[in-house]
Amino acid sequence: MFQNKFKIIFGILSVIGLILIRNYELILFYDPFNEYFRGMFHGLLYPKYDIFKLLFNWLVRYGLNTLLSLVILYALFQELSIIKISIVLYILFLIVLIFLIFLLLEFCDESYVMTLFYIRRFLIHPLFLILFIPAFYYQIKNSKN
């Protein structure tokens, strides 16, 4: 009984952690694209940025979001198999997204701004968690039937 309360508390703390990351993103992370995408960015040149510093900060943020998301998934489903497949998926998505965003920033012009916008979103926000929760719920529900 105490274990379930412990998992629920960790799940709630992880949700609070995700909220804090989002709330303090301007203080915690280097990302000149934050202000760029908050304004009227269509037709504008990309802001000046340090590619290595930018990618490192996006990786750190993705890592923090991933760790907190894994805790939330474990608190919700309490199955290690879900955590294992989630880790594999998070790593695969990270490799693909970092590769794509590097190509966009280094070899493409501003006409790909919306592609950059959405790929960046998947890197800096816990969107995979929003996709994984209903997917795993559906999988568990169907496997019991």
Distance, in Å, from the CA atom of 78 to the CA atom of 41, rounded to the nearest integer, reads 43
**What is the Cα–Cα distance from 3 to 108, expressed in whole angstroms?**
50
Torsion of CA 69, 70, 75, 78, to 10 degrees: 150
Range of the domain at 127: 2-38+47-144
Number of domains in the chain: 1
- pLDDT at residue 43 tops 80: no
Residues 12-36: tens digit of each pLDDT: 999 999 999 999 999 999 999 998 9
Contact 62, 78 (CB under 8 A): no
State pLDDT tens for residues 124-141.
999 999 999 999 999 999
Rounded mean pLDDT, 5-14: 91
Local structure of 98: helix, strand or coil? helix
pTM value surpassing 0.85: yes
Q: Return the pLDDT at 2.
A: 61
